Amino acid sequence: MAEFTEDGIKGSTATQHRTMSNELENIDNSSLNTSADGNRRKRGKLLVWLLVALLLASVGGLLLLFHDSGSAHAGLKDAKGKISKLEEQVLSLRSELDTTALNLRRQKALNERLQLENDTFRTLLPIYITKLEVANADSHGNAISSYGKTISASSSMYLMPRITYLGLKVGEKITLNVRLYDNEGKLVTGSSSPKGYSYDCKVDPILPNENMLSLSGWGGGDKGHFRPGSYRYEVWYEDMCLKQHVFTLK
């Protein structure tokens, strides 16, 4: 039988204590190692998530940058289009202004020329004829057809001209010479015709402003005096032709 002594008990106890201490130390070391590994894993996972978050943020920033860049490009393109349209409108307005300025200069030059001509007319001419019309008239000078209307050769009697004039030398008395060319282009004359003309008429006196004056006609008392064709009347003052008019008898 084993004998238990005090020293044996104490030694056994010490041995057990050391064994337990070693086991606890091993457990603590194992726990510490396990805790350290867990912390490392946690830190590794956290680092991975941080990297993922940074990657996602970078990708999002790039996408936003591309989107903003695309929007800016579209806005720039739209602005360029508007600027191009405005430039076209400016060019069009400039062209219109240039045309208007050119027309104004031409009109000014025309007005100056007309004023000069008017001054010249007033110096050289007693009247300024603006219109010459012809009517068919009877032997008493009554118009059978309206002035300016087509005349029928079969009903023609006297071809009577009428002038519309502006009086320049108001109150003066003048003589107008008239030429009538027939349908063959020959000057119509008679025994009492002035040299180089068909007949003459008096304007007595010249009236101011615009006036109409029927001159003497040429023809005969029977209908059908003239044949169909083209005729021409000319009204002269001294050596200047004031107005001419071509008309047709049907």
- The single residue listed with the structure tokens 């990657």 is 55
Cα→Cα distances 13→5, 25, 57, Å? 12, 18, 64
Helix, strand, or coil here: 216? Answer: coil
Q: Could you tell me which of 25, 78, 247 has the C-alpha nearest to residue 151?
A: 247
Q: What is the pLDDT of residues 114-169, one digit of tens each?
A: 676 667 666 788 999 999 999 999 999 999 999 999 999 999 999 999 999 999 99
Q: What is d(CA 74, CA 198) in angstroms, rounded to the nearest whole number?
A: 84
Specify the pairing of strand 209-214 against strand 158-167. Answer: antiparallel
Domain boundaries along the sequence of the chain: 16-124, 126-249
pLDDT at position 27, please? 44
Q: What is the largest CA-CA distance in the chain?
A: 198
Per-residue pLDDT of the chain (250 residues; tens, 9 = 90+): 445 444 544 444 445 445 545 554 554 454 445 455 555 666 666 666 666 666 666 656 655 555 556 666 677 778 888 888 888 888 888 888 888 888 888 888 777 776 766 676 667 889 999 999 999 999 999 999 999 999 999 999 999 999 999 999 999 999 999 999 999 999 999 999 999 999 999 999 999 999 999 999 999 999 999 999 999 999 999 999 999 999 999 9
Q: How many CA atoms lie within 13 A of 25 on its CB side?
A: 6
Burial 157-172 (b: 16+ CB within 10 A, else e): bbbbbbbbbbbbeeee
CA angle 231, 235, 237 (to 5 degrees): 155
DSSP annotation of 91: H
Q: Could you tell me which of 112, 220, 68, 239 has the C-alpha nearest to residue 159?
A: 220
| The two three-digit tokens of residue 161, written as one number | 């001209």
Say how many C-beta atoms besides its own lie within 10 A of residue 15's C-beta: 10
User: Which residue type, as a one-letter code, is found at position 220?
Assistant: G
The whole-model pTM stands at 0.54
Q: Provide CATH code, domain 126-249.
A: 2.60.40.10
pLDDT at position 88, please? 85
Q: Could you tell me which of 201, 205, 192, 190 has the C-alpha nearest to residue 234?
A: 201
Q: What is d(CA 139, CA 178) in angstroms, rounded to the nearest whole number?
A: 19
Phi, psi of 150 (to 5 degrees): -65, 135
